[in-house]
């Protein structure tokens, strides 16, 4: 090869090739992003049910440990800044004790006081951002056989005053979701 002749070497990708690759990536993203969002919502909903069960277990533990009935607030089940006490029993994590975790807001309503003890409670889990963090609201009323009732968010808000108050306090109007 003479010094004036140069070997042809590839100079990289053409603009057309890059555009094709970017187009393919955008098509794949457009297909997969809704699936990822649905998966996140499903995970939030499963976490809400697990959190309700965790609160139920913590309430039973609190009731047996301190012999005071159930708590008057969720924060009493939260972390202690020292030894556990009836005011901070260290039975649930700080997020759950604060009432917001994994895209759900938890509303705890203590029941009546009987013989100096709170004898029941109602617990609701409502999506923090309806239709974005969850489609389903959950309610729990402890009994001998505790069950978690799941309903479409719109149905709960239409017939449940506590859910209406909770949604109103979050600065939202009634929202209709479609799964």
Among the listed residues 118, 109, 111, the one whose alpha carbon sits nearest the alpha carbon of residue 162:
109
* Cβ neighbours around 38 below 10 Å, total: 12
Give the pLDDT of residue 146. 55
Give the pLDDT of residue 140. 82
Residue 117, in any domain of the structure: yes
Give the pLDDT of residue 159. 53
Range of the domain at 141: 21-53+99-169
Give the pLDDT of residue 46. 93
pLDDT tens per residue, range 105-124: 999 999 889 998 998 888 89
Residue 92, in any domain of the structure: no
Two tokens at 58?
Answer: 């913590």
Give the pLDDT of residue 170. 46
Side-chain-facing half-sphere of 4: CA atoms under 13 Å:
0
Q: CA-CA distance, 89 to 85, in Å (whole number)?
A: 5
Which residues pair with residue 139 across a beta bridge? 124, 149
Give the pLDDT of residue 89. 93
Residue 67, in any domain of the structure: no
- Model-level pTM? 0.72
Residue 68, in any domain of the structure: no
Cα dist from 154 to 158, 159, 160, 167, whole Å: 6, 9, 10, 11
Give the pLDDT of residue 6. 61
Residue 146, in any domain of the structure: yes
Residue 107, in any domain of the structure: yes
Give the pLDDT of residue 59. 93
Identify the segments of the chain with pLDDT beneath 70: 1-10, 142-179
Q: Are strands 117-118 and 113-114 parallel, antiparallel or unpaired?
A: antiparallel
Give the pLDDT of residue 2. 58
Residue 126, in any domain of the structure: yes
Give the pLDDT of residue 139. 86
3 state SS for 53-109: HHHHHHHHHHHHHHCCECCCCHHHHCCCCCCCECCECCCCCHHHHHCEECCEEEEEE
pLDDT tens per residue, range 31-53: 999 899 999 999 999 999 999 99
Q: How many domains does the chain have?
A: 1
Residue 60, in any domain of the structure: no
Do the beta carbons of residue 93 and residue 99 sit within 8 Å?
A: no
Give the pLDDT of residue 71. 93
């Amino acid at each position: 090869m003479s010094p004036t002749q140069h070997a042809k070497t590839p100079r990289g990708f053409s603009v057309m090739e890059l555009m094709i690759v970017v187009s393919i990536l955008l098509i794949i993203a457009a297909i997969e992003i809704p699936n990822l969002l649905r998966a996140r919502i499903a995970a939030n909903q499963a976490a809400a049910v697990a959190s309700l069960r965790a609160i139920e277990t913590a309430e039973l533990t609190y009731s047996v440990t301190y012999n005071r009935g159930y708590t008057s607030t969720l924060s009493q089940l939260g972390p202690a800044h020292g030894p556990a006490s009836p005011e901070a029993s260290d039975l649930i994590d700080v997020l759950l004790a604060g009432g917001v975790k994994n895209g759900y807001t938890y509303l705890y309503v203590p029941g009546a006081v009987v013989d100096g003890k709170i004898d029941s409670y109602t617990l609701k889990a409502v999506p923090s951002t309806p239709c974005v963090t969850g489609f389903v609201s959950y309610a729990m009323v402890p009994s001998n056989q505790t069950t978690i009732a799941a309903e479409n968010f719109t149905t709960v808000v239409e017939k449940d005053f506590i859910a209406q108050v909770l949604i109103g306090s979050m600065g939202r109007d009634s929202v209709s979701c479609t799964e």
